[in-house]
């Protein structure tokens, strides 16, 4: 997977299938370059994922290959937080299986609706 072409949809990627509507999701926002949807296993009262529509393996790869697209993801995460009326929220990018990444398509977790403790665990 490390040598997969960046930016191209991957047939076996769950998030690419959400982008193409092959897999249903509860979409809360969508732009030309991003889509935001509710996490199916929420870790907070509000838990939304913001992904680029183009496939990039993780946040570091996205930032290197498509910095403007990375900025789009960050901006949309802020818009999600505003629409969900979260004054405080946590934004998380897991990179690699050791950090908890289970879907290898770059995505930001936007979490809120309760107090967030530090360290996160």
List, in sequence order, every beta strand (DSSP E) within the chain.
27-30, 34-38, 46-52, 90-92, 108-112
Told to judge if 47 belongs to the known catalytic residues of this protein, a careful annotator would answer no
Task: Tell me how far apart the terminal alpha carbons of the chain are, to the nearest angstrom.
Answer: 28
Q: Which of 47, 55, 107, 109 is catalytic?
A: 107
Catalytic residues: 107
């Amino acid at each position: 997977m490390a040598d997969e072409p960046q930016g191209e949809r991957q047939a076996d990627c769950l998030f690419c299938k959400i982008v193409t509507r092959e897999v249903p999701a509860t979409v809360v926002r969508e732009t030309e370059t991003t889509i935001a949807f509710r996490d199916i296993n929420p870790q907070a009262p509000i838990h939304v994922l913001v992904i680029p529509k183009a496939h990039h393996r993780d946040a570091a790869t996205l930032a290197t290959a498509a910095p403007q697209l990375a900025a789009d993801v960050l901006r949309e995460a802020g818009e999600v937080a505003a629409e969900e009326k979260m004054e405080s929220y946590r934004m998380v990018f897991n990179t690699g299986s050791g950090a908890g990444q289970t879907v290898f398509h770059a995505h930001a977790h936007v979490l809120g609706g309760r107090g967030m403790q530090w360290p996160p665990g």
